[in-house]
Amino acid sequence: MKVTIVQRILPHYRISFVERLNEQLAMRGIELQLVCGQELPGTVPRTVSLPVPWVREIRNRYLTIGSTELVWQPCLADLRGSDLIIVEQSNRLLLNYWLQLRRSFSRPLLGFWGHGRNMQSRNPNGLRERFKSGLVRHVDWWFAYTEMSRETVLRSGFPEERTTLVNNAVDDEELRRGMQACSGVDPLEMARSLGCSGGNVALFCGGLHREKRIDFLLSAAERVRALVPDFELLVVGDGPERSRIEAARQRLPWIHYVGAQMGEARARYFHASKLLMMPGMVGLVIVDSFIGRCPMFTTEFPFHSPEIAYLRSGYNGDMTADDVESYAQAVARHLQQPQVLDGLKAGCEESARKYSLSSMVANFAGGVERCLKESTGGARENAGPARP
């Protein structure tokens, strides 16, 4: 049996996943082929070359019609011989429409891998999102990023028995190794080595861009400092909003900006911090918070990525009302209640075992195997009509 996964690009954070998935599927007697192209020039994330026999690199063609970007992935010849084709759920991928149209007369099964909807859409009831929602049922299997994604798919009427909950994650081994190396160091001592003199250190770790709400972060940090006099903030990351952090650092010496940190190097910042402040869009950094035993504090921001489903407020982190005062009060309160914060850290440790790359690979491989075994005969009748 052969499964082909078609990705617009292959970003660096997916390399470990596809390599491990290939190994898992091979153990189950399933051949994997990965087809991937390149990013639109000048955009990120960039694609990474993986020179192995089971990866086929193509040249995407990008088209712009008005304000709409479309992508053609020229790989029809590469799909021959596949028993299952898995594609990203995205309105702009023209290949998807062709594959959905031909389901009524073509042998390969078709699977979607995605969120179920655009979590960052400013117009969730607009034409694009309604169109996307209308296509949700026109596949044979769903590989849902998170429980939130799966619930979106099920609400469309797609059968639950033909869904796989993937629990999206990224390569976590380096951060885990780093945290293990830090385990013998007192967190306060680690904070001192990073230039912090206060006893209540918090961390921001992520891209410095608009969706992360840097102005909100800085306003909340100043309010926390007024409530907790020895509060300090470590900022890890880079991006177009960097100048705001650098300006704040000049004005407020208790803000420490260290730029982007990768791999094991990030561990010492998590170890030195009592909690993670992420008032804007939350994505896979929540998995880092679990591994780092650094409970994440966020808000009811309406544009989180689907990984926000991993947050259990009061168990492994906290979600407050979407205003600076409520957020700052919650952060300050937890800093002053170490026993409560220790309880959240224990929740993080438990969650780190559930949301890992190893679990994601096992979930995805199991879904592929189940799809190939169960989707013979009645799958398409149960999954919905072939024509969108």
- Reported as type and span, the H/E element at residue 114 is strand 109-114
Among 124-138, 288-302, 313-327, the range scoring the smallest mean pLDDT is: 124-138
- Please give the residue range of the domain that contains residue 334: 173-354
Confidence band, pLDDT 50/70/90 cuts, at residue 67: confident
Do 180 and 162 lie in a common domain? no
- Two structure tokens written together for 87: 């594609």
CB 75 within 8 A of CB 95: yes
In this structure, is residue 96 part of a structural domain? yes
In this structure, is residue 142 part of a structural domain? yes
Q: Tell me which residue of 205, 206, 188 sits closest to 197, measured CA to CA.
A: 188
Do 254 and 323 lie in a common domain? yes
Task: Please give the Cα distance from 213 to 307 (Å, whole number).
Answer: 18
Q: Which residues contact 250 (CB under 8 A, 6 or more apart)?
A: none
Q: How many CA atoms lie within 13 A of 344 on its CB side?
A: 25
Task: Please give the Cα distance from 146 to 160 (Å, whole number).
Answer: 14
Which residue bears the tokens 């891998």? 113
Res. 312: pLDDT tops 50: yes
How confident is the model over 259-280, as a mean pLDDT? 96
Res. 231: pLDDT tops 70: yes
How confident is the model over 97-101, as a mean pLDDT? 93
In this structure, is residue 263 part of a structural domain? yes
Do 26 and 161 lie in a common domain? yes
Res. 106: pLDDT tops 80: no
In this structure, is residue 388 part of a structural domain? no
pLDDT for residue 133: 58
Res. 381: pLDDT tops 60: no
Domain of residue 218, CATH code: 3.40.50.2000
Do 123 and 190 lie in a common domain? no
Task: Please give the Cα distance from 262 to 99 (Å, whole number).
Answer: 38
pLDDT for residue 33: 98
How confident is the model over 86-107, as a mean pLDDT? 91
Number of domains within the chain: 2
Confidence band, pLDDT 50/70/90 cuts, at residue 107: confident
Do 94 and 147 lie in a common domain? yes
Do 159 and 182 lie in a common domain? no
* pLDDT > 70: percent of the chain: 92
State the DSSP string of 28-84.
Answer: TT-EEEEEEE-PPTT-SSPP----STTEEE---EEEEETTEEEEE---GGGGTT-SE
| Span 8-47, pLDDT tens digits | 999 998 999 999 999 999 999 999 999 999 999 988 789 9
- Two structure tokens written together for 315: 């168990």
State the DSSP string of 239-294.
Answer: STTHHHHHHHHHH-TTEEEEE---GGGGHHHHHH-SEEE--S---THHHHHHHTT-
pTM for the full model? 0.85
* pLDDT > 90: percent of the chain: 84
Do 239 and 335 lie in a common domain? yes
Among 153-162, 211-220, 325-334, 374-383, the range scoring the smallest mean pLDDT is: 374-383
pLDDT for residue 37: 98
Do 239 and 293 lie in a common domain? yes
CB 347 within 8 A of CB 286: no
